[in-house]
Structure 1
Amino acid sequence: MGTIAVHEFIALDGVYEDPSWTFEYGFDPKMGETLAAITSASKAILLGRTTFEMFAPAWSTRTVEDDPGAPFFNDTTKYVVGASEPQVEWANSTRVGAYDPEVIRKLKDEIDGVIYISGSGTLVRALLADGLIDDLHLFVYPIALGTGKRLWSDGVDATKLALKEHEVYANGVVHLSYGPAEG
């Protein structure tokens, strides 16, 4: 049975939208090591349609010389969740349709290993509400943006998590790894 591991870049106030605000902090090499550890255990990628449409043109033309993560993103099977058909093509991609927790449970049953999610905030919010995320890796940046889509929005039920590990990087970013809370 598979597990779902998510990584999100978020601000202190939970904003994840348009992570271009992260650029001013640089990318600490240790963050790359953490992300490489997550992706190296992954057998599949699960993305929301919007993130898929952003990632496809950015990753599909990259090679390992451009970015060591390119083979993972290009060669790994990608499952796309969304009510509408993606507007771009990308090798090794399969559309699974609108969000349905039973479809995701079936995918977890069929994939022996980690199913990786990057971004895809709307999808991640739904998966959290349905208790389908096994590992939530939050890379929290030392800024409160004040506006933008938040990973947890007003009016949602409480989400209880258990801290599994944490790490602080030289650029001020904190990595918090959570799993489901017991009981």
Structure 2
Amino acid sequence: MGTIAVHEFIALDGVFQDPTWTFEYGFDPKMGETLGAIMGDAKALLLGRKTFEMFAPAWRDRTAEDDPGAPFFNESTKYVVGSQEPSEEWGPSERLGAYDPDAIRKLKDETDGTLYISGSGQLVRGLLKEGLVDELHLFVYPIALGEGDRLFGDGVDATKLKLNGQDTYENGVVHLNYGPA
């Protein structure tokens, strides 16, 4: 049986939409080590359709020389959740169709290792509601944006989590590692 590990870059006020605002903080090498550890035993990516379509052009032409994570993102199977067919092509991918927690439970049961999610807020909210997330890694940036899509916005069910660990980086970012309470 596999696990589901999520990582999100978020602002202090919970905004995670279009994280280009993270660029001004730079990327602390220790953050890369943390992300590498999260992806360590990942066997595949699980992504919402919109995130898949955003990631495809950003990753498909990158090499290991450009970014050490490129081989994982490009060569791993990407399971895509969404009611519409993705408009992008990108490496090995399999469409799972509209969000169905039972289908994701089955995929999780059949996976020997981790299913890795980055972004995909709508999918992550559903998985949290169903208790399917094993690790939630929040990289919290020291900025409140005031507007944008929030990971835990209005209408999201209460979600209790347990803090499993934390890290602080030189660029002011705090990593919070949560699991089910």
Distance, in Å, in 2 between the alignment partners of 1:57 and 1:156 is: 30
1:7 aligns with: 7
Which residue in 1 is equivalent to 2:157? Answer: 157
The yes-or-no answer on 1:73 pairing with 2:87 is no
In 2, the alpha carbon distance for the partners of 1:152 and 1:111 equals: 28
Match of 2:173 in 1: 173
**Aligned positions of 1:1-183 closer than 5 A:** 1-181=1-181
Quote the offset at 1:156 in angstroms.
2.2
Secondary structure of 1:144's aligned partner: coil
Matched to 2:6, the amino acid is: V
Q: Secondary structure at the match of 1:105?
A: helix
Identical-pair percentage = 75
CA deviation vs aligned residue, 1:85-107 (integer Å, no higher than 9, x gap) = 00010111000001000010000
Whole-angstrom distance in 1 between the partners of 2:60 and 2:24: 25
**1:26 positional shift:** 0.4
State TM-score, norm by structure 1. Answer: 0.97
TM-score normalized with structure 2 length: 0.98
2-structure distance, mates of 1:180, 1:122:
18
* Number of equivalent positions: 181
- How far did 1:155 drift? 2.4
Aligned-pair Cα RMSD in Å: 0.6
CA displacement 1:37-82 (0-9 Å, x = unmatched): 1112101100000110011111111111111111000111110000
Whole-angstrom CA distance in 2 between matches of 1:106 and 1:125: 18
Matched letter for residue 45 of structure 1: L
SS, match of residue 89 in structure 1: coil
Verify the 8 A CA contact 2:125 2:156 in the aligned structure 1.
no
- Which secondary structure state, in structure 1, belongs to the residue aligned with residue 52 of structure 2? helix
CA distance in 2, matches of 1:131, 1:85: 26
**Partners of 2:120 and 2:157 in 1: how far apart?**
19
Question: Gaps (5+ residues) in structure 1?
Answer: none
Q: Aligned letter for 2:42?
A: S
Most deviating of 131-140 and 152-161: 152-161
Q: Which consecutive aligned stretches of 4+ in structure 1 deviate over 6 angstroms post-superposition?
A: none
SS at match of 1:148: coil
Cα distance per residue 1:141-164 (max 9 Å; x no partner): 001111111001112221000000
Checking the alignment, whether the CA contact within 8 Å between 2:162 and 2:180 is kept in structure 1 is: yes
